[in-house]
C-alpha cells in the first residue's frame, strides 16, 4: 500500500495492536484509552528497551506523520526510521530523540559505535549537554511530520518547521520501518502514540549488494554441481 493510517480506533483495547511488530518487550505495548480515544501505549523496562515497529513498502521518498505524548518527566524515547533489519545501522537512519524535556535529531557525533562495528549506542550525555531543537512538556500531544528523500529529511513539529537535516553519515537507499523505542532507565515510564500516517511518494525495488552476490553465486554453484554429477555418472 502507498498509504497506511492507524488511529487505533479500530484496535481492540488492552492488547497488542494489530499490524504492528515488537521483538523486544511486546507485553509492554498495548492499546489504551486516552480521554475517550484509543492510543498505543509504550511502557519502558528497567532491564531492556521496549520497541514497537510498523513496516511499510520500501520508499525513497515519502511522509511520516504521528502524534506522541510523554507521560513521565524522566521518560526517554526515540522515533527511529530504518531499512531492513539485515542492513540495520544508524548512519543512514532518521532518529529523533525525546530526552528529559528536549527534542533532538541524532547526527554522526551522537553515535558511539563499538570497536567491532556490530553494535552502537547514543551519546545521551552529549545530547543533554547540547541545545535541543525544541523543548516539550509532559502530558501534551506533539504532532511529528517527517518528509524524506534519499539525501535529507525535513522535520516539522506542531506545524513549526524545525529544519532540513542530512543523514548521520550516508545517504539512505530507502526506508521501510518506523520504530518507537523506549530507553532502558532505572524508573518505569510510559508514552503514547496516535494517528500514525505513512504516505509513500516513491517506492523502490531495492536489492542489497549481498543479495546480488547470492544471485550470482547460487546459479554458478548449481551449474557446478550439475556438471560434477554428470561426470560421476559417466
Residue 115: the pLDDT is 72
Q: How far apart, in whole angstroms, are the C-alpha atoms of residue 38 and residue 52? A: 17
What is the tens place of the pLDDT at every residue in 96-124? 999 989 999 999 999 998 877 678 899 99
- Give the Cβ contact number of residue 158 at 10 Å: 14
Residue ranges of the chain with per-residue pLDDT less than 70: 85-88, 117, 206-234
> Which CATH number fits the domain 3-203, given the four candidates 3.20.20.70, 3.40.630.10, 2.60.120.560, 3.30.1330.30?
2.60.120.560
Counting beta carbons within 10 angstroms of the beta carbon of residue 18, is it exposed (0 to 12), middle (13 to 18) or buried (19 or more)? exposed
Residue 10: the pLDDT is 98
pTM to 2 decimals?
0.87
Residue 216: the pLDDT is 44
Give the cell for residue 120. Answer: 552502537
Q: How far apart, in whole angstroms, are the C-alpha atoms of residue 177 and residue 59? A: 10
Q: How far apart, in whole angstroms, are the C-alpha atoms of residue 161 and residue 76? A: 23
Q: How far apart, in whole angstroms, are the C-alpha atoms of residue 143 and residue 23? A: 26
Provide CB contacts within 8 A for 217, sequence distance 6+: none
The ranges assigned to domains in the chain are 3-203, 207-234
Provide CB contacts within 8 A for 234, sequence distance 6+: none
Helix (H, G, I), strand (E, B) or coil at 7: coil
Residue 1: the pLDDT is 77
Amino acid at each position: 500500500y502507498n498509504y497506511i493510517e492507524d488511529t487505533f480506533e479500530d484496535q481492540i483495547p488492552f492488547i497488542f495492536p494489530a499490524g504492528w511488530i515488537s521483538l523486544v518487550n511486546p507485553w509492554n505495548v498495548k492499546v489504551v484509552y486516552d480521554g475517550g480515544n484509543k492510543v498505543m501505549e509504550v511502557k519502558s523496562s528497567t532491564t531492556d528497551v521496549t520497541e514497537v515497529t510498523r513496516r511499510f513498502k520500501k520508499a525513497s521518498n515519502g511522509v511520516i506523520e504521528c502524534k506522541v505524548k510523554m507521560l513521565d518527566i524522566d521518560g526517554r524515547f526515540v522515533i527511529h526510521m530504518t531499512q531492513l533489519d539485515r542492513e540495520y545501522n544508524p548512519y543512514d537512519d532518521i532518529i529523533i530523540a525525546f530526552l528529559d524535556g528536549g527534542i533532538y535529531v541524532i547526527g554522526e557525533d551522537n553515535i558511539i559505535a563499538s570497536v567491532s562495528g556490530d553494535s552502537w549506542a547514543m551519546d545521551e550525555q552529549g545530547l543533554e549537554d547540547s541545545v535541543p531543537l525544541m523543548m516539550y512538556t509532559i502530558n501534551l500531544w506533539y504532532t511529528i511530520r517527517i518528509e524524506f528523500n534519499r539525501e535529507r529529511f525535513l522535520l516539522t513539529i506542531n506545524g513549526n518547521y524545525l529544519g532540513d537535516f542530512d543523514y548521520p553519515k550516508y545517504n539512505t537507499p530507502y526506508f521501510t520501518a518506523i520504530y518507537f523505542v523506549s530507553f532502558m532507565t532505572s524508573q518505569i515510564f510510559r508514552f503514547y502514540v496516535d494517528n500514525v500516517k505513512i504516505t509513500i511518494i516513491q517506492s523502490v525495488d531495492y536489492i542489497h549488494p549481498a543479495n546480488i552476490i547470492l544471485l550470482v553465486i547460487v546459479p554458478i554453484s548449481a551449474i557446478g554441481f550439475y556438471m560434477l554429477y554428470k561426470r560421476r555418472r559417466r
